[in-house]
Every structure is written in C-alpha cells, then in structure tokens.
Amino acid sequence: MRVDRVNGGASTDIIEFTPNADQYAYTFGGAKPVMDVSPGSVLRLWSEDAFNGRLQTVEDRPSEKLDMTAVNPQTGPFYVTGAEPGDTLALHIVDLTPARDWGVSSAIQNFGGMTSTPLNPTLQDPLPEQTWIYQADLERRVVRFSAVNSQFELDLPMSPMLGTVGVAPPAREVRTSLVPGSYGGNMDTPEMRAGATAYFGVNVEGALFSIGDGHYRQGEGEACGTAVEGAMNSTIIVELIKGGAPPTWPRVETDDALMVVGSARPLEDAWRIAQADMVDWISALYGLTPMDSYQLISQTSLAPLANVVDTNYSAVVKIEKRLLPPAQSYQGMHDHLRGRAEELRAAGLQPFRPGTPLDLTD
Amino acid sequence: MRVDRVNGGASTDIIEFTPNADQYAYTFGGAKPVMDVSPGSVLRLWSEDAFNGRLQTVEDRPSEKLDMTAVNPQTGPFYVTGAEPGDTLALHIVDLTPARDWGVSSAIQNFGGMTSTPLNPTLQDPLPEQTWIYQADLERRVVRFSAVNSQFELDLPMSPMLGTVGVAPPAREVRTSLVPGSYGGNMDTPEMRAGATAYFGVNVEGALFSIGDGHYRQGEGEACGTAVEGAMNSTIIVELIKGGAPPTWPRVETDDALMVVGSARPLEDAWRIAQADMVDWISALYGLTPMDSYQLISQTSLAPLANVVDTNYSAVVKIEKRLLPPAQSYQGMHDHLRGRAEELRAAGLQPFRPGTPLDLTD
Amino acid sequence: MRVDRVNGGASTDIIEFTPNADQYAYTFGGAKPVMDVSPGSVLRLWSEDAFNGRLQTVEDRPSEKLDMTAVNPQTGPFYVTGAEPGDTLALHIVDLTPARDWGVSSAIQNFGGMTSTPLNPTLQDPLPEQTWIYQADLERRVVRFSAVNSQFELDLPMSPMLGTVGVAPPAREVRTSLVPGSYGGNMDTPEMRAGATAYFGVNVEGALFSIGDGHYRQGEGEACGTAVEGAMNSTIIVELIKGGAPPTWPRVETDDALMVVGSARPLEDAWRIAQADMVDWISALYGLTPMDSYQLISQTSLAPLANVVDTNYSAVVKIEKRLLPPAQSYQGMHDHLRGRAEELRAAGLQPFRPGTPLDLTD
Amino acid sequence: MRVDRVNGGASTDIIEFTPNADQYAYTFGGAKPVMDVSPGSVLRLWSEDAFNGRLQTVEDRPSEKLDMTAVNPQTGPFYVTGAEPGDTLALHIVDLTPARDWGVSSAIQNFGGMTSTPLNPTLQDPLPEQTWIYQADLERRVVRFSAVNSQFELDLPMSPMLGTVGVAPPAREVRTSLVPGSYGGNMDTPEMRAGATAYFGVNVEGALFSIGDGHYRQGEGEACGTAVEGAMNSTIIVELIKGGAPPTWPRVETDDALMVVGSARPLEDAWRIAQADMVDWISALYGLTPMDSYQLISQTSLAPLANVVDTNYSAVVKIEKRLLPPAQSYQGMHDHLRGRAEELRAAGLQPFRPGTPLDLTD
C-alpha cells in the first residue's frame, strides 16, 4: 500500500492510494476499511481490473486463470468520518484514466446475458470460452477490437467508466462485488463516468464505500458479461450530506441529467425501482403530486439499460436537465463538486498516467 | 374514406388516405385490407389517436369514455402487391406531422408500468384515473405539459413517432393492436420516427401492414402506459425485398443506427431477442463468427427501452453506425429510400397540415 | 368426419365425432365450428396427438417430421347454441381413454423448459433432438418409459389428461393452439382429467370451444415441453350457465378441489393471476372480505405448476374442499354434472376402445 | 441460554438449547456460532416465531411492532465439528412440535405475493395492515382461522414445518434470514417437515447452520407473505457426509420423495434451478444420460411452489419414490437417520411440550 496525503488547499486532503493485492476487497460490507477519509477529501485511486489482471492474452481461458469467488477486486472500502445511517454519501468522479495500454474482455462460461447461467440454467452446453485483448491508445482515446476468428479490426472510442461503486449494504448483509443492489455495487452502467456525482444512502457507520471494475468502454446491457475491462486511475471527491432524505437507491447527477439506478430481477422490476424513485425525486424537486410526476416522467425519461448479466440486473431511468426547469438537488451538491473539480484542474491536477501498478512514489 | 392516387413521377403512386371511423382496424391479422398498394408507393396517411379521439379534456375519464377492446385504431391494413411469406417489407417514414394542435395522455386504471394490471395483478386499489391535455405548437415544435394538481407547466420538445407499425402475424394468429410481437405492432419505441426504415418479415400474402398510435412525444418505457397521444399525418414509402433472409424480429435502420426491437415478458427476454438478432445481423454484415459479433456488440450496443407497459414489453438494441465500418443492409434499401424521400421533398412534397380529420379534398 | 347422434335419454344428445385430418383446428378463435351442440350434450371425441401422429419411432426427428405451425391439432371448435358473451361454459370430463397403445414424447429443438427458445434466446447450441416411445398398457394402466441411451426401463402409472381445452379468446384475437391464456388453451395441467369440470367465460357467440393434446401422463411443469402425448377418446358433457359472473380465467372444479389456472410470463404472474381469482372466488363463496380471503388462501392453497414451457407459462392455485365448509359454485353445476356422468355410466356408457383412428361405424 | 447435553446412548449427544433473545441470529453467515455440535448429535431446539413474538393480538400492527431489519430470528448457528467446504451437511427433522397454543399471521405492508413491494414497486397505495391470531389445539392438531371482518371461523389441520433452514453462504456473503438461496435459508416450503432429511453443501468451516421460522401451517406460495407463524420445538439429528459431491442447491429426502429447492427471480428460474439439479440427481442415481433423465423427470416430477414472496422465490421439484426403482442417495443417509429417529422414539424421546419459552430446567 502506498498512501500519500497531499495538502491540496485550505482544507482539502488529496489522498493517493494503490492497494496491494492482499488489500483488495471482494465484498460490499464485511471488509475492513483500508483507511479513514474525511468529507471533502480528494481520492486518487488505482484499481485492478475485474479479472485481477489474470487475463492477458487471447489464449487465457477464464476457467483456468480465474477464481470466480475472487473477481472484481475493490479498492477500498473507505471509512468516511462522520457518516452515519440516514446520511447521504456523494462521490464525484473528477477523472477516470486508464492505467494500462490494453484492456480485456472475456466470455466466461455460464456467465453473461446470452447464455444460461447458474441462476437461469438450461441443459445446453456452455458457450465456448474466449478472451479478447483491446489495445488502448490514450492519445487517440481509442481501444482496438480485434476479432479472434477473423481479421476484422475496429477502433472504438475510449469511454472510461467504473462498473462498481457502492457502500456497505443495510441489514447486516455482505454481498460479493459482483452483485448490484440498493447500496450500489456492480451496477455496470456507462453513466458512471467522469463528471458524474453518485449519491448513496449510508447504511453503516463510515459508509464503507469502495470502487473498482474499471471499464475502458462498455455497451449498455454489457451483453457478454464483461466490458473492456482495465486497471483504472480514478480521481474522486468524497462528500457527505448529513441527515435529510437519503436516497433508497443510487442516484446519479451530471451536468446534463438526473438518473436513478435500480437493480433486481426480472429486469422490469429494476426499471420499476428506478422509475418509482424518479417519481419521488421529481415530485420533491418541483412540488408535484406523484400522479403528475408519473405523467411528466412518462414523457421525458430515458431508459438506457446498465447490465443484464449480473446476479441482479440494473436499469437506469434518466431525465435530461435541459427538459426541466432549473432545480437544486441535495443543496446543489453536484454544482459544488463540479466547482471543486474545476479548482483542482486549475491548480494543475493532472490525470494519472497509465502504469501497472501506478507507481506513486517517483 | 378519401383516397387520391397522384402520379408522383415515372412509376410512383402517391396515395392519400384518411380512414372513416368504421374503417379502423383493431388487430394485426384478421382485418380486411383497406386497399392494395404496390411496392414503391408513397402513402400519406391520417391516423386517429390511440383513444379513438374520445379523451379531450382533463375531466374525461378513460373508464367512462373508452372501450378497451377497441382502442389503438389502425390505419390499414394495406395489401402490398407481390408480397409473400419469405419476403421483407420495408417501410420508410418520410415525415410525421401532428394532425391536431393538442395531444393527450391518460392514466388508465390497471394499465401501465407502475401499477398492477390484469397480467400482474395485486390486491391493491388501482391508481386514480387522470387525463392530461398537452397543447401542441407546430411552429415552435413543443407540447405543453400542464400538471393537473398544481400550477406547474412545462414546454417539451415535440418529437413525433408512431407507436404502432406492423404486419400480420405468422401461424394464423390475430393480435389486438395493443400487443407487440415478432410482427411489430404496438412496440412503442421513440425510435420509430421520421427518417427511419423499418423492416418486417412477411408472414402472409400481401403482408397486411398497418400503422397508428401516433405520439407527439414519449419517454422510453412509456411508464404511465400512454404517450402524448395524437392524430398523426404520416408520409411513408413502401418497398418490398423479395426472398433473401427476412428478419425474424423488426429491424429499424436510420442514417445513424441499426436497431432491433424485441418484445416479450419478462423484459430481459425482450432484450435477449433483440440482442440475438443483432448478433445475426452484425455477423452477416461483417463476416464475423457469432462469438466475435457477441463481443463487438457487447461493447457497442445501446439499449434504450421502448415500453414496459404493453402485454409484451419491448426493448431496443441499437448500434450507432459511426462506430462500425460502412456496410449495406438489405441491398442498401435505407439509402435508396432516403434518396426517394429527398426527391419527394425536392419535388415540393409538403408535410400535411394539422386538422381533425385532415381534409384532403380541398 | 363421422358423427353419430345417439338419443341418450329424455333430452340428451350423445354425439360421437372423429375429425378427419383436414378438419383439425390449430387455433383458438378464427376457426369455423365443426358442428353446433346444445347445452346438455354428451360429446364423445377423438383427438389426434400433439405431433399430428407424425412421431412414431425413436428415430423420428421433430425437425424433419413436424410443421411447427401446425401442431397440437384441436378437435372442434364446437358452437354451443345459446352461448353469448357474459355466459359461462362448463365442460365436464366424464372419461379420458387413450386411443392408442403407445404414446410419444420428444425433445424438440429450442422448445421446452430447460433450453433457450425463440422467446428467451441464448447463443448456445440447441439440445439434441430426441424422441421417446412409451408403450401403453390399458389393462395394467401403465406407460413404459424406455431410455434411449441405456437399458433403463420403467413402468409409470397411466394418468390421462387433456393438455388443451379452451374457448375463443376475447377482443377479436386468434391464438395458436400452443398458447394458453384467459380463454384456456394449452394450459397443460395434469388437473384436467376425468372427473373435472372446467369453467370458461364465453367471449364470442357460440363459445367455440375445442379440445386436444391428450396426455397419457405428464409431470407438473412439463419440463421437456411435451408429455406422453397420445391420441385420446374423450367423453365430455357440455353445459352453459347464462349470465351471472363468468370467470375471467379458467376455473376447474373436482369432487376434491377448487382450482384456477393462470397463464402469463414471468411465472410469478401466472401464479398471481390464479391467486387473485381464487381470492375473488373464495370471497364470494364465503362472504369474506378480500383481506380475510387472502389470509385464508395463504394458509390453504396448493400451487402445483402446470407448464413452464409454452409461450405463456401456466400455474394452478388449488384448494382442497376438505379444508373448506361446504359451498356451491355455479349453482352446483359440478355436482349436477357428476350426477349426469353417473347416470351415463349406469346406462352402460363404455369408455372408448383404443384405435387409430377410432372407428365409430362398426 | 440453557444448554443441556444428555448422553443419549453409546456415542450420541442429545443437546437441548433455547436461545435468549440476545442470542438470535438474523443472518446466514456472519453470525458467531452459539455452540459446537458433532456429527450424530441430536438437537432439541426452541425457536421464536418470525415476528420475534411481537404480534400477539389482531390489533397489533406490524408497522408499529416490528423492526423489519430484525425479523425471522434464527436459532443457531451451530458449528459442526469437522465440516469443511466440499462436505455435505444432512439435517434430519425428527419432530416439530408447536411451542405455543397460538400462531399468528400478518399482512405486512409492501410485503407478500399479492402486493407491490420495494423490489417490484408500483405507485399504488399499500394494502391495509392486518394481523390474524390462530388458536392452536395440539390435541386435536388444528389451528383455528378467525376472519377479522366477519364471523367466519374454520379449523385447519396443524401441519408443522420450518420456514428457514440453512448454512452459511459461499463467497464470503452474509444474507438476512429473510432470503433463500443456494445455502437454503428462508425457503418457506411445507415440505420441510418432520421426517424430512435436508442436504446442504458446506461452504465454510463448521457449516454454521441455523433453523427458525416455525410454521404451524402454510399454503404453497405463502401468498400473503407469512404463514401461521409460531414458536417451535424442533428435534433434529445432525450428520455430515465427508467429501463426495455436495449438492449445489438444497435437496430434501423423505420416505416418499426426492426434492430439490431452487430459489431465484423470476419464478421460472427458481423452478429451472431445481429441475436442473434434479436432472443431475436422477442421472447419477440411475446411470441415465441427461437427456433421458430430463425426459423421465418431465413425466414424473411434481412442482409444488414454496414461496412467491421472499426476496428470492422458491420452487420445489419433487419426484415420488414410488415411481422410481429403489436407489440410495448419499450412501443411504436418509434411511440411516430414519432408523436413528426410530431408536430415539423407542428409547422414549418425547416431543417437546408447548411453552413460551420452553423451560428446559425443571
């Protein structure tokens, strides 16, 4: 573990942290915090890819290389000082920069959206295992898809995101880092990218949030079960909203949109969860009755799927701010954090360079 | 019924058709065709709103005004000369212009995405009935949401689309115009807008397609069960692709994207249907194996939901063309039809004016 | 077609009917009635097996032998004189006797509960096709399972039932005989056996009921998609209850139990449909509020699945009469029909002998 | 805590244990074991009802009396000496005797099968809260249903079962005692009654099993979300099968049947899980290929639902032994345990008397 605390201004900690392999967490809840952070801190975090870095060539077979009970390693959890049940944790993603010059995706047997799995089994033979390596070009901001069975190659825009962000679950539960739920977790939505502020209800003292599962790119639905997975350097500002009405499901705010992420099976219930919470959110923002809010949302909301592959599926309900009158959520927290991010940039904060692992000491 | 055939060029029929109330179809399959049209024809069609025009004020209660066995009236079906099972019908939407200066949405009891329904019942009381009237301004291209229970008002961009487009189903079936399926029908996707070419496998002689359920605007998911419903003037070019490999589920092509619409319950299966067909489509276009295609789509496809309210739910899988190498589907049919539409515009074809019903005789 | 009307007593028609192959119906709704029958009639009906008799050896491959758009042939439909929408049709199964000395089951590719299907596709290879022939011994009342891939053989009790019983659907729809719904159809529940009275709401004039899909035996769920399928001789009494409160979903009454069959996807919704209707039924029978009825049913109802393989899944909710105070449904119709059946037996009515087809003329 | 170890024979511990309120576990996994037990031990356990004993009259409202994060208290967990991952834990239920002369059921708001819940929300108002008290008569072995809103009363047969039996989950997870899964847990199947042997794969050292949620009676599906809940005295023999092939999902064996319990959403997937494991089981017992086993099970298995109300739904797939050739599962463990139970009875082991709590010291 390398940790540096850098005084980033009047009252701001800038904390850089790259976990050792024995520090990864594989659960939400149940893992000891790697450190305490105070609200307002800026975290610069390195995270390993979802395969624990074990898939490196197209010949690497997941069944030989992976331990499926220890995938999707998390960087964290972090204990947020002062966070208590009933509070709201705000995590603003300032920057996501790939930490390697290659990403990797894989068809793991009996895992993914277009195959039977242990939770929706059939008697059919599994799909073949296969690994794809994507060369990543940070300058041109592309990843290169190379077909395994033909000569087809294609550059795709790099679009970094975090597949997994969450806090400890309620009701004493511990879930693996493969599961999304009301506490966030492995939601796998492309909306979790730089510029987004994610809000989570705090369930336990210290909130105990962690991040991981960096994706250099992902389609909505994450059909084959894995994105262009890659180690990631994340710059995140942590904030805490004491009391009030914490969200029951993860909410995400960007400059352009309000979003809720629901996770459940079947998929319509994930969508219903997000829709119900959006009704609450819009009702509160504009003083509408639930029926008026339901109507307004019916005509304005977008519904980009997140994943249809995890043990719970995740659906996003999203409303573009341009359609709505100006309004402030969580006391203007998103705008505040955007301002903070701008200050950091103005002060010369650089994106992390790629590196495996990122060496913060030189 | 008013029908005018106008010679629109060397070999093109331009057919204008406004059905009388007793000509509406309420099913896909099982209804007599209103007329024969030949491939290459341009249709200018008026369609009534999904409520049969019976909801006109916020006081109108669906339970009093609607006959739920005769809603979503269709304009058609049209018998396409020469169409046989195994062919592909292409419908290109040149233009959609609202035919009234108001639209209407309604919360119908026991219908919609956020209520129990006869197909997923609970013992709870139904939600209250409510109707919302949206003033439509064709100049400013906005519809105005007016809350029923408070003073809140909001202009929303007009974004006309057809909720329902389809052909007769296979296997002798007849489905109401409320049901989406492999034959299209009530898919309720905002992607069915001007500029789109929809492809349907032909199941019966003449294909027997119809359209209806015009929406001046709709959110993805159509949460409350109804969009901003309104009478619509549609300009559509009909084409036929003989033989080849007809799509098993509706495909949609625009200048910007390839799409498939799957319809089923639960919602994940609607998405799986669309995903599986997209794998076939991309495999064929680029000579990829299914596994390579699955991988490529996993990292590139979008998944905007269509509806989570009908008797089958509909999910769209969409890939932006900008991400893919150039390729021609259906022998370049979409580009051909775009060219035809441009010629019509160049020849002075005007959008229909709004009117109820649109009087084509003066 | 051979039809004989036999005067079976004061006012009773006994009608024997064996359809020719060109008389089979493949839909509910949309098919012309084969004959009119009056309430009170006794029908003695021969029905072909669900494979149209085309699978006869373990070498017969469904993909070669079957036309999947013409399977599950129905005997009927019958036009019940006097039946109007709002009425209730009662069909009492007096006797089911296998019409052949062998039955057949088959694993059809992409069909069944433990494989992906066109409605819940994956990219996996299909399961292998396979056909099993069961020798039927009407004396010992067993069918013999013979494993295809080993020497294992096993006699199983014969337990004849009808997979498919239903009326024309509402709202102008026509459904294939593979689909179950509110109109009955391909429910595939082992509860549809001799001694049962099935109640259906009448949706169109004449009700237009048909029967078919005889099973010599079936497990609950019908996992592989097909039962021990066989031609069947059915003796059925037809009755009509004018007006009143027709059931919205099929209800089944035996000497021992009250049942409702719900059909939908996902499976929980099929169960919910049946449960909701059982709440109505029990509330009406015993003057209970819905909450008290809900409670009572929660502690008393059984939930034997019917099928998890058709385009809609079917679930049965069942309450044993021994648990409930005596009460009469539908004015004691079941007891009345049981009495009628007893009279027929006392008058010497014999079960049909097996035969392919059953020759009624000698 | 009162614990008595009684020498019950040559090598058998008979352990009586009644937890104090602060000893209840509310999770599977994550709770400290209350004691070590060795394989072969006989446990006589008292368990509190699922409401923690807080609902005692029809006026008691769950929203006022219950803490929903601490319901379904478990007696245990027990650390089984020698149990390691890869082993199979066998729990044989010798006897279940109600520990009180009343049971209780309740409609908890937003919980149950016929209402929207936080995982499948709608915007409808919740159902009313209501509590029902059932008088239990151990002599006549009945519980009395008393309608709350009318004078209707009805004696129902007492049929004691355990709603919740399970071990610690795999992959570091901790689940609340409301959740069923591959580790067992809150399966809520009426099949978990005296005479049953339940088999669980061991996921962690010591297995860490617990029991609770006694039901004096329950319908299949547990529609309203709660059974006739009651404190229970359970006599259970613990055994361990080292190595071999532990079941991936809970299996249950009785004198009459083999069963598997699958838990998932949607409900068809719970059924598929159980069906897939039954294919494995039958294939192994009789040397059948999966396709032959699939066929045999399709014609023989029963599918009585367990619950359609918990966070995962549970479905049972069941085959009656009378249909199958004799065969021994788990080296004849069930027969061995039945013999042990007979010996205990012959040695004069009495069922526990009812009592709240059962006083073991006098």
pLDDT string in tens for chain D (362-residue length): 444 554 444 446 899 999 999 999 999 999 999 999 999 999 999 999 999 999 999 999 999 999 988 899 999 999 999 999 999 999 999 999 999 999 999 999 999 999 999 999 999 999 999 999 999 999 999 999 999 999 999 999 999 999 999 999 999 999 999 999 999 999 999 999 999 999 999 999 999 999 999 999 999 999 999 999 999 999 999 999 999 999 999 999 999 999 999 999 999 999 999 999 999 999 999 999 999 999 999 999 999 999 999 999 999 999 999 999 999 999 999 999 999 999 999 988 876 554 444 333 33
DSSP C62-117: HHHH--TTS-S-EEEEEEETT--TT-EEEEEEEEEEESSSEEEEEE-TT-STTS-B
Per-residue pLDDT at B350: 72
Phi, psi for residue B199 in degrees, rounded to 5: -110, 130
With a cut of 90, say whether residue A353 has pLDDT above it. no
Tell me if residue B65 falls in helix, strand or coil: helix
- What's the token pair of residue B201? 């496998």
Q: B123 touching D, CB under 8 A?
A: yes
Mean pLDDT for C289-305 is 98
Q: Are A301 and B272 inside 8 Å of each other by CB? A: no
Residues 81-110 of A with CB under 8 A from B: 105, 107
Is the model's pLDDT at A259 over the cut of 90?
yes
pLDDT tens figures, C336-351? 999 999 999 998 887 6
> Residues C182, C75: contact at Cβ < 8 Å?
no
How distant, in Å, are the alpha carbons of A11, A183, B225 from that of A36?
Answer: 16, 19, 47
Single-letter amino acid code for the residue at A175: R
The answer on pLDDT for C361 being more than 60 is no
- Say if the Cβ atoms of B120 and C272 lie within 8 Å: yes
For position C113, what pLDDT does the model report? 98
A neighbour chains, 3+ CB pairs within 8 Å: B, C, D
Chain C hits for D280, Cβ within 8 Å: none
Nearby residues of B283 by Cβ (< 8 Å), 6 or more positions away: B289, B290, B292, B293
Instruction: Determine the pLDDT at residue B358.
Output: 36
Q: In angstroms, rounded to a whole number, what is the distance separating the alpha carbons of residues C259 and D311?
A: 27
The fold of the D2-344 domain, in CATH, is Jelly Rolls (2.60.120)
Tell me the C-alpha distance between A138 and A100, whole Å. Answer: 9
Element (H, E) at B315: strand B313-320
The pLDDT, as a whole number, for residue C349 is: 80
Average pLDDT of chain C to the nearest whole number: 94
Residues 129-158 of A with CB under 8 A from B: 130, 132, 145, 147-150, 152, 154, 156-157
Q: Which residues, including other chains, have CB under 8 Å from residue D157's CB and lie 6 or more apart?
A: C323, D141, D142, D217
Judged by average pLDDT, the poorest of A161-175, B76-90, B286-300, B347-361 is: B347-361
- Looking at residue A351, what is its pLDDT? 63
d(CA B209, CA B191): 18
pLDDT of the residue at C2: 47
Question: Is D346 touching B (CB cutoff 8 A)?
Answer: no
The pLDDT tens digits for B47-97 are 999 999 999 999 999 999 999 888 999 999 999 999 999 999 999 999 999
**pLDDT, mean of residues C13-36:** 95
Question: Strand pairing partners for C314?
Answer: C263, C307
Residue C161 has pLDDT above 90, yes or no: yes
Per the CB < 8 A criterion, the answer to whether D201 and D91 are in contact is no
- With a cut of 90, say whether residue A361 has pLDDT above it: no
- What's chain B's average pLDDT? 94
Which chain B residues are closer than 8 Å to C276 by Cβ?
A: 121-123
pLDDT at B349: 80
pLDDT of residue D6: 46
Nearest to B232 by CA among B113, B334, B104: B104
Read off the pLDDT band of C13 (50, 70, 90).
confident
- Whole-angstrom CA distances from A352 to A1, A12, A356, B304 are 17, 19, 12, 33
- pLDDT confidence of residue D328: 96
Mean pLDDT of B339-351: 88
Supply the pLDDT for residue D322. 98
- Among D216, D271, D299, D318, the residue to mutate for chain C (most C Cβ within 10 A): D299
Q: Look up residue D264 and give its amino acid.
A: A
Tokens of B323: 């991400």
What is d(CA D183, CA D168) in angstroms, rounded to the nearest whole number? 6
8-state DSSP, C128: P
As to burial, measured by CB atoms within 10 angstroms (0-12 exposed, 13-18 middle, 19+ buried), residue D71 is buried
Contacts of C220 in chain D (CB under 8 A): 301-304
Question: Residue B360 pLDDT more than 80?
Answer: no
pLDDT greater at residue A358 or residue A43? A43
Using DSSP's 3-state secondary structure scheme, residue A56 falls into coil
Tokens, residue B210: 């119809």
The secondary structure element, H or E, covering residue D65 is helix D62-65
Is the pLDDT at B251 greater than 90, yes or no? yes
What are the chain B neighbours of A266 within 8 Å (beta carbons)? Answer: 266-268
Dmax of chain D from CA atoms? 62
Whole-number Å distance between alpha carbons of D33 and D35:
5
Nearest to C114 among D219, D272, D315 (CB): D272
Q: Which amino acid is at B3?
A: V
Mutate to test the interface with A, among B297, B298, B305, B317 (most CBs of A within 10 A): B298
Instruction: Give mean pLDDT, residues A337-360.
Output: 72
Strand blocks (E) in B243-312: 251-253, 257-264, 305-307
Nearest to B127 among D115, D123, D126 (CB): D123
Size of interface A-D (CB pairs under 8 A): 81
Range list of H helices, A239-315: 267-286, 290-300
Q: Distance (Å) from the C-alpha of residue B64 to the closest C-alpha of chain D? A: 21
CB contact residues (below 8 A), chain D span 232-291, against chain C? 265-268, 271-272, 275-276, 279, 286-289, 291
Render pLDDT for D270-299 as a digit per residue (tens, 0 to 9): 999 999 999 999 999 999 999 999 999 999
Q: Assign domain B2-346 one CATH number from 2.60.120.580, 3.40.630.30, 3.30.420.610, 1.20.5.510.
A: 2.60.120.580
Mark yes or no for CB contact A173/D176 under 8 Å: yes
Mean pLDDT, chain A, integer: 94
- By Cβ distance, the residue of A130, A295, A300 closest to B132 is A295
Q: pLDDT tens, A223-240? A: 999 999 999 999 999 999
**C-beta atoms of D69 and A172 within 8 A:** yes
Residues in chain C: 362
Work out the burial of residue B187: count CB atoms within 10 Å of its CB; fewer than 13 is exposed, 13-18 middle, 19 or more buried: buried
Identify the pLDDT of residue A13.
83
| Structure confidence at residue D361 (pLDDT) | 33
Q: Which helix (H) or strand (E) holds A343?
A: helix A333-346
Residue D12's pLDDT is 65
From chain B residues 51-80, the ones with a CB under 8 A of any chain C CB are 69
A:B CB pairs within 8 Å: 206
Q: Is A32 on the interface with D (CB under 8 A)?
A: no
- Tens of pLDDT, residue by residue over D151-207, are 999 999 999 999 999 999 999 999 999 999 999 999 999 999 999 999 999 999 999
Of A176, A273, A276, the CB nearest to D123: A276
| Angle (CA) C63 C67 C73, round 5° | 130
Q: What is the pLDDT of residue C69?
A: 85
pLDDT in tens, A50-78: 999 999 999 999 999 999 888 999 999 99
Report CB contact under 8 Å: A299, B217.
Answer: yes
How far B199 CA sits from the closest chain A CA (Å)? 23
Cβ-based burial of D115 (10 A; exposed 0-12, middle 13-18, buried ≥19): buried
pTM: predicted TM-score of the whole model, two decimal places: 0.96
Given an 8 Å threshold on Cβ–Cβ distance, is A275 in contact with B217?
A: no
**What angle in degrees, to the nearest 10, is found between the helix axes of A267-286 and A290-300?**
120
How many angstroms away from the CA of B133 is the closest CA of chain C?
Answer: 28
